[in-house]
Structure 1
Amino acid sequence: MKNRAVAERLREIADFLAIREVEYKPRAYRTAARNVESLSEPIEDVYDRGDLQEIEGVGESIAEKIADYLDTGEMSYYRELRTDLPIDIEAITSVQGVGPKTAKRLYLDLDVRTLEDLERAAEAGRIAELDGFGEKSQANILDNIERAKRGQERMLLGHAFPIARDVERRLDESDAFDRVDTVGSFRRRRPTVGDVDVLATATDPEAAMETFCTHGDVSQVFSRGETGASVLVGDDLRIDLRIVADEEYGAALVYFTGSKAHNIALRNRAIDRDWKLNEYGLFDVGEARREASETPRETGGDDGQRAGERIAGDTEEAVYAALDLAWIPPELREDTGEIDAAAANDLPDLVATDDVRGDLQCHTDYSDGSHSVREMAVAADEHGLEYLLVTDHGPEAPIPSTLDADAFDAQRADVEDVNADDEISVTILQGIETEITESGLGVPDDWCDRCDLVVAGLHSRPDEPTERVVRALREAPVDVLAHPTGRLLTERDPLDLNLDAVLGTAAEEGVAVEINAQPRRLDLDWQAVAEYRDTADFVVSTDAHTTGELDFLHLGVAQARRGWCDASDVLNTRSLDDLRSAFGD
């Protein structure tokens, strides 16, 4: 599945064109990149059908470049652009504060071509010597380089998800495999993942290995053995496969899902019973046998790990039950109280994606979205949503395309037209995503009065963000606080907010707090969700800018689940009438 690889190339082309100060085209390439990345199917399949130009924003010229990449593994146009400016534009611009034009300046003046070059130049004090930079700019770049480097080591969950799911589906549909599960931090739905681990059973492991190592998306095989292999998929995601015995599958699922802290807590519970828990099963070893099993054998092997009487191991449920625990959902396995809750049979009935009845943030082509109100409505209908809040950006948002008064009125007419269409079941609500400004909200008061709901957030980084947000929540007609901490995973730290003050004020003022499902955000963070679950009401929103991004809903729900939320904690699991009542309408 090459969706992400194609999207990255298109974004890099946009950056190179921006450096050249080409008008309009950079935005066109970024729009195409976003739509390609949010496809729900492999772009290779779209190409094979001859439907590349059916993708929103992909015209004949961009379609030719995508076809070039899919046919040859290269985009000749991208190669030409990089020949003129031989820099790793994606890596360098991943550093906060370094945009395409800054990258060009650093290349021309300091011969900065790579992230490593940038780090060396900053450490040597050469950036501060350039006109327009100075010590502060250099220090900020140096501080953000480490985050960018970490970002190269891990992939956003939302970017890894379609790749890993496609591999899992292919293996599951293959006759060579009996059972297949993706484990590790991916299964726990952590916001970023490193390598993706796949666990499987197979009657013929050799045939299974052949299937895994030779499917079409594999670009490199790092290792291959009798029961394990490691490959590179989608150009940048490493996937490791481990085949285990049927009777050990459940114990292996527990072990390889993790987290490490959760597994240690489980092993300690087993030790308290004079048992042993590992990836091979749960065993009654007894004191003498445990001592023997811990003595290294000259012959090696795993027999010592399997010593003792097997109590459980074929299913996860059996392992947890033998330890007198309810089965614990993977999202909760972080050693944050889930063991005690499972022992007391007091785990929450976690919210599920199917519980969510509406989406309370999306964008259309009236601001920076790719699709019309009607197209978003049709897509929401296909997703089975009951309502969708359209929240295009208000005038003071720091983005190129925002609503003006005429556009706001025209959008209202579009919303009414869609809602009058008997063939569309979803109800479209008109909202706004307004910037929280120094003086309040960045939209006229009468706009707020006409909106079904007002969504407000910070896209800037003021010196005193807590005071600004708290004042807006208290004094302005805000219904939902969008992506509260403003973080961008692997790119930008969260704002220095006093969450006690912000979420406490939100609760007092009846403002819901968003869990934003965009892969780069997943904001509010799951740890804060868990901490403030009894304080604030939450909504899970996709912040979709394309019809395909409505699929992101499950990513936000996963973070709500990691924060121990049940359906009652998430307002948009309610019917539209109940939602209106919750917001006082």
Structure 2
Amino acid sequence: MARSNDEIAALLQEYADLISITGGDAFRTRTYEKAARSIGGYHTDVSKLDAKGLQEIPNVGKSTAEKILEYFSTGTVSAIEKLRAKIPAGVRQLTAIPTLGPKKALVLYEELGISTTEELAEAIHEERLRDLKGFGPKTEENILHGIDLLKSSGDRVLIDVAMSLAEDIVAEMSQVTGCMRCAYAGSLRRLRETIGDIDILVAAKKAAPIMRAFTELPYVSEVIAQGEKKTSIRTDKGLQVDLRVVPPDSWGAAMQYFTGSKAHNIRTREMAVHKKLKLSEYGLFDTETGDKIVSKTEEDVYARLGLPWIPPTLREDRGEIEAGLRDELPELIQEKDIRGDLHTHTDLTDGLAPLEEMVAAAAERGYAYYAVTDHGPDMAMQRMTDERILAQRARVRELDREHGGMRVLHGAELNIDPDGGVDWPPEFLADFDLCVASVHSHFNQDRDALTRRIVKACENPHVHIIGHPTTRLIGKRPAIDVDLDAVFAACARTGTALEINSHPDRLDLRDEDILRAKRHGVKFAVDSDAHAVIHLAYLRYGVGTAQRGWLTKDDVINTWSLTRLRRFLDKG
């Protein structure tokens, strides 16, 4: 199930947008945006808090707390309903387009009568937006990008949303009498960045009780189809979940069949045919006699096809079959291999938790080292100064001594400016343990300028990691137009690592880009970019993306010992 915190965060963000659309006070808009971020990153389930508990959350005041309690009590918030009623449905539909702000959406509706993405795309192609103030060719291009992003995301959800729901269902179904095994499969098991629907498998001798229990789960809003072998439901959040029940001795074959991508499964079925076998969710069968040969484990199925067991994250038909036949599958990085997190934030800048809480939470995860990397002063909104960062460094050094089992490193996330420069002069940067450098602005520079900008940052001896390299936000903002191969070559040449940002909104680099970068000899850092304690756990998604990029722990610098890591950080 989606966390109540995420539900409330989305509601408050919508309220902030509605205030902005209706010309409300910018300070109020910002207030609710801050509250949304704080609640989304808060460790306690807000549905279990009273007014006093809610107001202990950073940026949540009395008025916000009252709205949250009203929502949990009635299912609605009257203030939000009143603003919704003032906004034409068409405007609210347009605000779903990434890159199109609420005020521009209102202008399009009032001036041109545009209320759908189709009408907007048509108006852009007819160049009807160019007479409007604030709209030009570049704006049109950005909006079309946004429309494409919206269409491509469709009904898909981010991996953390799907994972939370799937793990809840697996836990619930595992308690049902007669359920012998239960797991999720499909694209979620392959850890794809977005999920269309969730596949759940159950091994049981009798399917009917299992199917009945599935349709009675508390978050089921609709039973789409129900049968002996498969039942599909839609949750109250609109996500489809398909349950399949198979005989216990077919478990391995079913997991293999329902996990692989379509392309991977075509290849394995072809291999079966060449061996005069038939592969299905029930097992591997002799085509002449119909006898079942193997079915109980995935390992048995793959072995009979002449292959080693192939990790789910590789089952995309991107060379894993050939590598398996040559016995050259990589020993993929695992979450347990991560020895530290090298990109995190505190409430000194845009994080939600104080330094001490973040460090304590990292220590609980068993890390050997942990880096705090708050934003530099070039992002003015973060209010960073030399004095504040030096005071933080002094406290980091104290915590480093206090946490004997975990080294605490002091770093910074630097902003790569339009010319490739970064915050602070070299002599100041030299005293940080490590620096992450990221693009946070001027996304619309041309390809050559963006490429030069990042390459120059790589060449800076005080920049160790390029953070979220393409700046994309999945379904919200496209990747910048940069020559990635030139960036990969520069990273390999200068000894600069590329980040795999684990935040579910980013997962940047993408798995396809990781594969290309690895061929250049690049090293990587799998980081959480945590802005709250609960975000530290996002690392699992970054590791999954690293696996999809065929990375081993030798490719990832934060699986290394601190001694080896420090040698890497000494770019000189």
Q: Which residue of 2 aligns with 1:409?
A: 390
Instruction: Select which of 265, 270, 277 maps to 1:263.
Output: 265
SS in 2 for 1:223: strand
Relative to structure 2, which stretch is displaced further, 245-254 or 217-226?
A: 217-226
Relative to structure 2, which stretch is displaced further, 236-245 or 112-121?
A: 112-121
Q: Which residue of 2 aligns with 1:85?
A: 87
Q: Which amino acid aligns with 1:436?
A: I
The answer (yes or no) to whether the contact 1:229–1:241 under 8 Å persists in 2 is yes
**Residues 135 and 440 of structure 1, relative CA distance in 2, 3 Å threshold:** closer
The whole-number CA distance in structure 1 between the counterparts of 2:374 and 2:247 is 53
Deviation at residue 361 of structure 1 after TM alignment? 0.6
Deviations 1:119-153 (A, max 9, x none): 45545644333122134423432342122122232
Deviation at residue 536 of structure 1 after TM alignment? 0.6
The answer (yes or no) to whether the contact 1:434–1:441 under 8 Å persists in 2 is no
1:227-306 map, 5 Å: 227-286=229-288
The whole-number CA distance in structure 1 between the counterparts of 2:562 and 2:262 is 41
Deviation at residue 352 of structure 1 after TM alignment? 0.8
The answer (yes or no) to whether the contact 2:42–2:532 under 8 Å persists in 1 is no
Deviation at residue 16 of structure 1 after TM alignment? 2.1
Instruction: Select which of 401, 423, 432 maps to 2:412.
Output: 432
The answer (yes or no) to whether the contact 1:441–1:456 under 8 Å persists in 2 is no
Q: Which residue of 1 aligns with 2:493?
A: 508
The answer (yes or no) to whether the contact 2:51–2:66 under 8 Å persists in 1 is no
Deviation at residue 332 of structure 1 after TM alignment? 0.5
**Residues 383 and 87 of structure 1, relative CA distance in 2, 3 Å threshold:** farther
Deviations 1:67-125 (A, max 9, x none): 33334333333212212224477753343431232233334434445545544554564
Q: Which residue of 1 aligns with 2:424?
A: 444
Deviation at residue 523 of structure 1 after TM alignment? 1.0
SS in 2 for 1:431: strand
Instruction: Select which of 463, 477, 480 maps to 1:495.
Output: 480
**Residues 54 and 219 of structure 1, relative CA distance in 2, 3 Å threshold:** farther
Q: Which residue of 1 aligns with 2:355?
A: 373
**Residues 234 and 514 of structure 1, relative CA distance in 2, 3 Å threshold:** farther
The whole-number CA distance in structure 2 between the counterparts of 1:569 and 1:136 is 39
SS in 2 for 1:561: helix
Instruction: Select which of 429, 449, 456 maps to 2:437.
Output: 456
Deviation at residue 426 of structure 1 after TM alignment? 3.6
The answer (yes or no) to whether the contact 2:156–2:196 under 8 Å persists in 1 is yes
Question: 1:572 and 2:564 equivalent?
Answer: no
The answer (yes or no) to whether the contact 2:2–2:161 under 8 Å persists in 1 is no
The whole-number CA distance in structure 1 between the counterparts of 2:89 and 2:391 is 43
Q: Which residue of 1 aligns with 2:33?
A: 30
The whole-number CA distance in structure 2 between the counterparts of 1:232 and 1:220 is 5
SS in 1 for 2:343: strand
SS in 1 for 2:270: helix
SS in 2 for 1:378: helix
Deviations 1:341-377 (A, max 9, x none): 2223322211111110111111111221111111211
Deviation at residue 32 of structure 1 after TM alignment? 3.7
The answer (yes or no) to whether the contact 2:205–2:248 under 8 Å persists in 1 is no
The answer (yes or no) to whether the contact 2:411–2:433 under 8 Å persists in 1 is yes
The answer (yes or no) to whether the contact 2:93–2:115 under 8 Å persists in 1 is no
SS in 2 for 1:432: strand
Instruction: Select which of 550, 561, 566 maps to 2:536.
Output: 550
SS in 1 for 2:232: strand
The whole-number CA distance in structure 2 between the counterparts of 1:40 and 1:567 is 30
The whole-number CA distance in structure 1 between the counterparts of 2:52 and 2:231 is 34
Relative to structure 2, which stretch is displaced further, 58-67 or 207-216?
A: 58-67
Instruction: Select which of 531, 540, 543 maps to 2:526.
Output: 540
Deviation at residue 455 of structure 1 after TM alignment? 0.8
The whole-number CA distance in structure 2 between the counterparts of 1:157 and 1:82 is 29
Q: Which residue of 2 aligns with 1:171?
A: 173
The answer (yes or no) to whether the contact 2:422–2:457 under 8 Å persists in 1 is no
1:83-162 map, 5 Å: 83-87=85-89, 92-116=94-118, 118-119=120-121, 121-122=123-124, 125-162=127-164
The whole-number CA distance in structure 1 between the counterparts of 2:51 and 2:292 is 52
**Residues 54 and 271 of structure 1, relative CA distance in 2, 3 Å threshold:** farther
The whole-number CA distance in structure 2 between the counterparts of 1:328 and 1:243 is 23
Instruction: Select which of 558, 567, 570 maps to 1:581.
Output: 567
**Residues 159 and 365 of structure 1, relative CA distance in 2, 3 Å threshold:** same
**Residues 68 and 228 of structure 1, relative CA distance in 2, 3 Å threshold:** farther
Question: 1:340 and 2:322 equivalent?
Answer: yes
Deviation at residue 486 of structure 1 after TM alignment? 1.8
Deviation at residue 429 of structure 1 after TM alignment? 1.7
Q: Which residue of 2 aligns with 1:561?
A: 547
The whole-number CA distance in structure 1 between the counterparts of 2:37 and 2:204 is 38
SS in 2 for 1:362: coil
Deviation at residue 50 of structure 1 after TM alignment? 9.2
Deviations 1:497-538 (A, max 9, x none): 222221111111111111111112111111221233251111
Q: Which amino acid aligns with 2:32?
A: Y
**Residues 52 and 248 of structure 1, relative CA distance in 2, 3 Å threshold:** farther
Deviation at residue 431 of structure 1 after TM alignment? 1.3
**Residues 372 and 262 of structure 1, relative CA distance in 2, 3 Å threshold:** same
**Structure 2: runs of 5 or more not aligned:** none
The answer (yes or no) to whether the contact 2:100–2:146 under 8 Å persists in 1 is no
The whole-number CA distance in structure 1 between the counterparts of 2:506 and 2:92 is 19
SS in 2 for 1:366: coil
The whole-number CA distance in structure 2 between the counterparts of 1:285 and 1:313 is 15
The answer (yes or no) to whether the contact 1:374–1:414 under 8 Å persists in 2 is no
The whole-number CA distance in structure 2 between the counterparts of 1:523 and 1:420 is 33
Q: Which amino acid aligns with 1:18?
A: S
The whole-number CA distance in structure 1 between the counterparts of 2:90 and 2:408 is 43
The whole-number CA distance in structure 2 between the counterparts of 1:391 and 1:498 is 27
Deviations 1:311-366 (A, max 9, x none): 11222111111112111110000111211222233222111111101111111112
Deviations 1:385-436 (A, max 9, x none): 2222222222223x732422232223223323433435x8543322111121
Q: Which residue of 2 aligns with 1:62?
A: 64
Question: 1:363 and 2:345 equivalent?
Answer: yes
**Residues 410 and 214 of structure 1, relative CA distance in 2, 3 Å threshold:** same
SS in 2 for 1:400: helix
| Aligned residue pair count | 562
The whole-number CA distance in structure 2 between the counterparts of 1:344 and 1:149 is 40
Q: Which amino acid aligns with 1:140?
A: N
The whole-number CA distance in structure 2 between the counterparts of 1:90 and 1:516 is 31
**Residues 546 and 184 of structure 1, relative CA distance in 2, 3 Å threshold:** same
SS in 2 for 1:556: helix
**Structure 1: runs of 5 or more not aligned:** 290-307
Instruction: Select which of 321, 325, 331 maps to 1:349.
Output: 331
SS in 2 for 1:385: coil
The answer (yes or no) to whether the contact 2:370–2:408 under 8 Å persists in 1 is yes
The answer (yes or no) to whether the contact 1:284–1:310 under 8 Å persists in 2 is yes
Q: Which amino acid aligns with 1:567?
A: K
The whole-number CA distance in structure 2 between the counterparts of 1:115 and 1:421 is 56
Deviation at residue 176 of structure 1 after TM alignment? 4.9
The whole-number CA distance in structure 1 between the counterparts of 2:229 and 2:55 is 43
Q: Which amino acid aligns with 1:277?
A: L
Deviation at residue 178 of structure 1 after TM alignment? 2.1
Q: Which amino acid aligns with 2:526?
A: V
Identity of aligned residues (%): 39
**Residues 453 and 152 of structure 1, relative CA distance in 2, 3 Å threshold:** same
SS in 2 for 1:219: strand
